[in-house]
Amino acid sequence: MKLIIGGAFQGKLEYAVKLTGCAKEDFLDGAACELQDVFEAKGIYHFQEYIRRCLELEEDCSELAGRLAEQNPDLVIISEELGYGIVPYEPFDRKYRETTGRVCTSLAALSSQVVRVVCGIGMVLKNDKN
């Protein structure tokens, strides 16, 4: 797996397309795709929205990273970083932010490559050649 993270509107999807050679159309939108499609997709962007949808359906996300690594080890995941700024007032929003951070932390540990994109420039945080 590959994990690409960064703030909103930083060029993460465009970077992923260049990095992988996949077309934009190969990436599912986590805000709209079928929940099971992620286990067969080449890539997913707005992964944080995928997690939000799972939580809204009261899905357990604690094993999501492991399931993705096992069932779709070549997946490219693009997620916004949510852990900066003011802590949300609403309990659901706090849970969403924390869950996204925990899932992405697990994904980073399981991924062969982790890249943070700022202003369209990728900074490699992890690059296991194995």
Integer Cα distance of 9 and 87 in angstroms? 21
Q: What is the pLDDT of residues 12-35, one digit of tens each?
A: 999 999 999 999 999 999 999 999
pLDDT, averaged across the chain: 94
Predicted TM-score (pTM) of this structure:
0.94
pLDDT value of position 130: 55
Question: 2-127 in CATH: which number?
Answer: 3.40.50.300
Quote the Cα angle for 65-125-130, to 5°.
Answer: 65
pLDDT value of position 51: 97
